[in-house]
A and B are shown apart, each in its own frame.
Chain A
């Protein structure tokens, strides 16, 4: 059996969907961040496999940018979560419902 590009693309799509569904259904902020990471890494896989299929370096270069952005994003996200946890131990996103009209 030959593993073609489309296998990787399907795997990327599955991982992306897992991340998206997880983000929408989980209630722990940390798990939600992990889901975002999963989505971004699914995109990375897609970029790399498409780049390989096209014989183009651009796809692999894009991954470096995405990695850096993902790291920066998590730093900010964790800082916000730590700031919240300091005030409320073990908070889930359901506990954060001060806002509303």
Chain B
């Protein structure tokens, strides 16, 4: 009698995925058995799960540092520094989104736990994505992440804007997934494996005479990932989706989806395809340059603050691509540091938007922010700090992050790109200044909008905004620890 050989499993490295998915399933089961589950319980459940993942990542980090990166499950899943750091960033985004969600759900009279369940499942997909050591596993993670987010975008059943955003996101997301998958298929054809370690090994040992299939594969993978992280010219869905989807969901899209997208982009391009840097790096550079310029200049033209932040998120994606195209340890570390800072900035900013948005999630015009500093000085002050952080003003985390990717680009001799990015950063600063001017200088609107008169900012939103502000300031003043973490997080490929 023969025994079935099962692959080695490192259970401790799977803790984040297990925690998130089991917790989501349990919440769904409990909510369908108990008739009126108090809404704060679902929120607390999700926050605790997110915090548990965050806490679990500390021993995982130490373990990886002591024993080195490992690959398991037949070489399809890996655990290394980058995996753990990206998982922690995803956990922060989950906690922040869950804290914001209840405020929105109560205000919009949307009972049910779907948002929390889908959020945790989406995060589980994100964790699978950042720990993938096989391109098919990467694709599965991406789909688990994305499909949950499509539903999240459509969550508000009574608003046609929400459904329109979901349909647009779904169609373009599915389109992008198909491109990515076709790219994976061609890469498989060219190298004979979908496992990243084997692909990399094959490419470094064999010289291909006819590398057309390989190049087409790399190109298609790049297009698919560029869609997901919203890089120009694959950004068209972003403003509409950010405008239409529920604000807390947008916080998750901006922070969580970007972290997972860029972490896997680094794994595929910088690490797996390191032998073909000269093929993909110029393309990534062009995408990055276009993204910073188009993102910053289109943001100037918007009158809806959510669309402004959508375009500014496109500009942020451009900066991140600058770090990716450098294709070295310095660039990769800069990308991870940027991702952590951006998670804080995005969740904090969209927390403010969720609060100001008011009933119906409608009030996002620049007019709404007119005189906000007089009505709600603390909220306006926090938003100021977050916007300055996004602009990259010194002594905020944004400065540290931007400096990191620019230094990596200059080090990689991409002087033009660095110059364009700095110019675009100046244009983007003007956008944030416009919101600041509206908040502080213009007080024509002393008559408050009806809904905000007695509106109290709920505790959950305060926690998110407060933590984001503290984090952004702390990283801005003492950048050392984060830089060190990001340096240690450089991804490595291990053959299984």
Q: Does B442 contact A (CB under 8 A)?
A: no
The residues of B that contact A65 with a CB separation of less than 8 Å are 136, 139-140
Is B239 among interface residues, defined by CB-CB distance under 8 A?
Answer: yes
Which residues from chain B contact A16 at a C-beta distance below 8 Å?
178, 182
Instruction: Give the complex CA separation of A92 and B276 in angstroms.
Output: 43
Chain B 154-174 residues near chain A, CB threshold 8 A: 154, 157, 160-161, 163-168, 170-171, 174
| Docked-complex contact A98 and B188, CB < 8 angstroms | no
Q: Which of B154, B164, B181, B240 has the most CB of A within 10 A?
A: B181
Count of chain B residues near A, Cβ 8 A:
42
Q: Apart from A72-B147, A81-B167, what are 7 other A-B pairs with CB-CB below 8 Å?
A: A9-B189, A69-B143, A72-B143, A76-B150, A93-B167, A96-B167, A98-B164
* A3-16 Cβ-contact flags toward B at 8 Å (1 or 0): 00000010000001
- Min Cβ gap A86→B in Å is 9
Q: Which residues of B contact A29 (CB under 8 A)?
A: 167, 171
With contacts A62-B136, A77-B170, A101-B302 taken as known, whether A46 is within 8 angstroms of B189 at the C-beta atoms is: yes
B interface: dominant SS: helix
Q: Considering residues B157, B166, B168, B174, which has the most beta carbons from chain A within 10 angstroms of its beta carbon?
A: B174
Assess A36 versus B175: contact at CB under 8 Å? Given A42-B182, A47-B188, A96-B167.
yes
List residues of chain B with CB within 8 A of the CB of A23. 171, 175
Nearest chain A residue, comparing its CB with the CB of B302? A101
Least CB distance from A62 to B in Å reads: 5
Contact of B164 among A61, A62, A96 (CB under 8 A): A96
B302 touching A99 by the CB < 8 A rule?
no
- By a CB distance below 8 angstroms, the chain A residues around B139 are 65-66, 69
Interface string of A64-101 (1 = CB under 8 A from B): 01100100110011011101100110000100111111
- Residues of B contacting A96 with CB < 8 Å? 160, 163-164, 167-168
Whether A100 touches B188, Cβ cut-off 8 Å, given contacts A42-B182, A77-B170, is no
Using Cβ atoms and an 8 Å threshold, which residues of chain A touch B175?
20, 23, 36, 39
Let me know if B57 is at the binding interface, CB within 8 A. no
Q: Is B443 an interface residue (CB 8 A)?
A: no
B303 lies within 8 A of A40 (CB): no
Find out whether the CB atom of B136 lies under 8 angstroms from the CB atom of A83.
no
Task: Evaluate whether A84 and B182 lie within 8 angstroms (CB atoms) in the complex, with A23-B171, A69-B143, A73-B174 already known.
Answer: no
Contact string, B223-244, partner A, CB cutoff 8 A, digits 1/0? 0000000000000000110011
Q: Which residue of A lies closest to B166 (CB)?
A: A80
Contact status B182-A46, CB under 8 Å: yes
Which of A24-52 touch B at CB < 8 Å? Answer: 29, 32-33, 36, 39-40, 42-43, 46-47, 50-51
B194 within 8 Å of A (CB atoms):
yes
Find out whether the CB atom of A83 lies under 8 angstroms from the CB atom of B157.
Answer: yes
- How far in angstroms is the closest Cβ of chain B from A48? 10
Q: B186 at the A/B interface (Cβ < 8 Å)? A: yes
Given the complex of chains A and B, what is the CA–CA distance between A36 and B263 in angstroms? 26
Tell me how far the C-beta of A84 lies from the nearest C-beta in chain B, rounded to whole angstroms: 5
- A16, closest chain B residue (CB): B182
Q: Is B487 an interface residue (CB 8 A)?
A: no
CB-defined A-B contacts under 8 Å, sample of 27: A20-B175, A20-B178, A33-B174, A36-B175, A40-B178, A43-B185, A46-B182, A46-B186, A46-B189, A50-B188, A54-B189, A54-B192, A56-B193, A58-B194, A62-B184, A62-B194, A65-B136, A73-B143, A80-B150, A83-B154, A84-B160, A84-B167, A97-B164, A98-B161, A101-B243, A101-B301, A101-B302
**Is B267 close to A, CB under 8 A?**
no
Asked if residues B161 and A83 are in contact (CB atoms below 8 Å), the reply is no
Contact B171 A101 (CB under 8 A): no
- Bound together, the chains give a CA A98 to CA B243 distance in angstroms of 10
B151 adjacent to chain A (CB < 8 Å): yes
Known interface pairs A23-B175, A58-B194, A96-B164. Does A76 touch B147 (Cβ–Cβ under 8 Å)?
yes
Return the contact of A39 from the options B182, B184, B303, B304 (Cβ within 8 A).
B182
**Chain A residue, CB-CB nearest to B172:** A23
Return chain B residues, CB-CB under 8 Å to A43: 178, 181-182, 185
Is B150 a contact partner of A99 (Cβ separation < 8 A)? no
CA distance A54 to B242 in the complex (A): 44
Assess whether B307 is interfacial by the CB under 8 Å rule: yes
Inter-chain CA distance A85–B5, complex, in Å, is 50
Given A23-B175, A80-B170, verify A50-B185 contact (CB < 8 Å).
yes
Residues of chain B within 8 A of A9, CB atoms compared: 189
Contact B143 A101 (CB under 8 A): no
Given known contacts A43-B181, A72-B147, A84-B163, is B240 in contact with A50 (CB within 8 Å)? no
A26 to chain B, nearest CB (A): 10
CA distance A50 to B182 in the complex (A): 12
Convert B190-210 into 0s and 1s, putting 1 for each residue whose CB lies closer than 8 angstroms to a CB of A.
001110000000000000000
- Residues of B contacting A40 in the complex (Cβ-Cβ under 8 angstroms): 178, 181
Contact between chains at B147 and A73 (CB < 8 Å):
yes
Whole-angstrom distance from the CB of B367 to the nearest CB of chain A? 14
Instruction: Decide if A98 touches B170 in the complex (CB within 8 Å).
Output: no
B residues near A97, Cβ cutoff 8 Å: 164
Q: Are A99 and B178 in contact (CB under 8 A)?
A: no
Q: In whole Å, how far is B284's beta carbon from the nearest beta carbon of chain A?
A: 22
- Pick the 8 closest A-B CB pairs, nearest first: A39-B178, A50-B189, A99-B240, A96-B164, A46-B185, A101-B307, A36-B174, A69-B143
Contact partners of A66 in chain B: CB under 8 A: 139, 181
Given the complex, which residues of A lie within 8 Å of B239, measured CB to CB? 99, 101
